[in-house]
Structure 1
């Protein structure tokens, strides 16, 4: 992510995070609820950006900001050019909107990159420790997860791997047995996690739609960006199947075309059969 300092004071690119951004397919959407959860690990979307050319320019701005280690000020300059070029009338104030696009894409890409690194060294560092930013801005429920220590294989990380919401600053670090002993930590019991993993339903005040959430996690953030990006193809098929049919009809061919055109990162990460199943087409083979 171009933000890791080296011992010589220079910045080292976070290659895994940049790879995550580069692997994304652009999907135009009306609102952030059109695409939720796992599919965000494979798709780049900006709510309200329905023009392909506009979305492409916003994607290039996000990618350049991350590849070059640019600040949000630099990103805002690129954002302004894209908005002026396409005459986009977006919702919300400029400062808030650019912060959401810049920070959330950066955070999820970094999370996906960290997961890839942690998977790579899990034979030596098989435990993950949840850490908050440690200040007064931390959400109470996220603060309750501070210092949760579990095996990397535990299913808690399938839903609670940060970011766990808009502008969430929590992070995960991997530890070895020696680290745990030195820090005086103990593995968290499953009984201590029960209250955190019970979903509840809330009603969207605008549409009346019933939406399922987990306590402390914003709608659509109950997934592990790295696991969804690198994990089983089944997740993508499931997410495609849950989309509104109009969005699904747009999204599925784009994902399939990415595979058929020989993009290696989608050959291994997206299941053509799962995508066909989500459209009700028969499975072959």
Structure 2
């Protein structure tokens, strides 16, 4: 049975994959050992546009927790689009690409996080056909500086499910474990049948897998190789927001990052929003209305994927996103003090690519202020975008996302015991509900159009400038 993945729990895993260079190649062995840490390649994918499309699929799988079945379906479309004649069946090839990249990104994230532990413990994976050499390493505990980890850090072969866990002197003692003796790493001769090259591979490890996923020793070599190739057309938007889970195919992490990147160019303070999200590990759920309802069949079907993404026990699912049906019907989004994520409604028709113009979002702040001055205070910034602009619900989803992140900004300040009294001035009716809605609504206004807000309400801008300065 293939491995099941939700979105990667580690921002390090996403960063590891995003930092790779695209390397068109004919065979897996063309990129050797730790060069895979720095190169994204797919054997036989020699065209740059083909490789870019495959990379975007893998990137979506890692950041959004796309399933293997989704990947296999998209892979078939991609093969047809490019007329690619790959080896093996489409399902088998898609499985290999998906499984290897997901595992190595996961292991790279683990490698970075394990730097905080002085000792590492090898754990054999529960494979259907276990490798005896991998089984023999189960329970091996060595200092993180041990040369063993430079060779035997998973993945140690095609389909390898082994993992490494961090330990401390206290945890080793508490569990009744003992440090292992430094293993002797035996090697065997392996000849590349196509090139005739001879490599010495550790016994028990598949050729090309004897390296640690955190190693960067080949980066300079790969960059030099890349400079000698034609430039690759960049297909992926800058990832300023690390991850998001979405059940709407038209509301993706790529679409979100595209919009936020455009906003950041026009509104520099938006960078502080994304810095906040990255610093405090904030996550996002984009869900359809029926998937938000507590006790619904749709919500139940998503429990495993969403709890995996949020890194919470599946037994706690009901406390992390489902709400009563009337709340799911009425609210465009919500969050909670106990969470480090926000939930945003993304109906089937919502499509971030259909945001007509970024100014539809930024101009909502001016529209709210002008309406207030005319004695016609608007309900909310989201209401303005959804009902009075061409971007409609597509743009409204972004406003709601910023509003909910505004709640999390206040919650984080509360966790750090930073006073957040708010102010008496309000630009929308919704912001007058209570202190928390004041923060969320005016945070969104500050993020969307700081200059316009400062012209009319300098005290509000000064408030959020100072608050974000303390948080970041």
TM band (smaller chain): 0.7 to 0.9
Residue 373 of structure 2 corresponds to: none
Point out the structure with max Rg over C-alpha: 2
Distance 1:130 1:57, change over 3 A: same
Distance 1:135 1:13, change over 3 A: closer
- SS of 2:165's partner is strand
Residue 269 of structure 1 corresponds to: none
Within 1, Cα distance between the matches of 2:8 and 2:140? 29
User: 1:28·1:52 contact (CA, 8 Å) conserved in 2?
Assistant: yes
Residue 213 of structure 1 corresponds to: 201
Out of 31, 41, 55, the position equivalent to 1:45 is 41
Count of residues in correspondence between the two structures: 230
User: 2:8·2:62 contact (CA, 8 Å) conserved in 1?
Assistant: no
- SS of 2:96's partner is helix
Residue 181 of structure 2 corresponds to: 189
Distance 1:136 1:52, change over 3 A: closer
User: 1:3·1:14 contact (CA, 8 Å) conserved in 2?
Assistant: no
Distance 1:12 1:53, change over 3 A: closer
Within 1, Cα distance between the matches of 2:29 and 2:44? 11
Gaps of 5+ in 1: 5-10, 241-247, 258-262, 264-285
User: 2:121·2:142 contact (CA, 8 Å) conserved in 1?
Assistant: yes
Indicate the structure whose relative CO is greater, using CA pairs within 8 Å and at least 6 residues apart: 1
User: 1:38·1:236 contact (CA, 8 Å) conserved in 2?
Assistant: no
Structure 1 position 251 matched with structure 2 position 226: yes
Residue 55 of structure 1 corresponds to: 51
User: 2:155·2:161 contact (CA, 8 Å) conserved in 1?
Assistant: yes
Root-mean-square deviation (CA, aligned residues, Å) is 2.5
Out of 31, 54, 68, the position equivalent to 2:27 is 31
Out of 77, 83, 86, the position equivalent to 2:82 is 86
Structure 1 position 203 matched with structure 2 position 187: no
Within 2, Cα distance between the matches of 1:143 and 1:64? 33
1:249: how far off? 7.0
Within 2, Cα distance between the matches of 1:113 and 1:249? 26
1:204: how far off? 3.5
Residue 112 of structure 1 corresponds to: 108
Structure 1 position 170 matched with structure 2 position 162: yes
Within 2, Cα distance between the matches of 1:91 and 1:63? 22
- SS of 2:145's partner is coil
1:94: how far off? 1.4
Residue 158 of structure 1 corresponds to: 150
1:136: how far off? 5.1
Gaps of 5+ in 2: 233-237, 239-472
User: 1:128·1:152 contact (CA, 8 Å) conserved in 2?
Assistant: yes
Within 2, Cα distance between the matches of 1:116 and 1:60? 23
TM-score, reference length from structure 1 = 0.74
Residue 22 of structure 1 corresponds to: 18
| Alignment deviations for residues 217-265 of structure 1 (CA, whole Å, 9 cap, x no partner) | 1111000011x14xxxx4434x65xxxxxxx9743546x99xxxxx9xx
Residue 219 of structure 2 corresponds to: 236
Within 2, Cα distance between the matches of 1:135 and 1:106? 16
User: 2:8·2:106 contact (CA, 8 Å) conserved in 1?
Assistant: no
1:41: how far off? 0.5
Distance 1:38 1:12, change over 3 A: closer
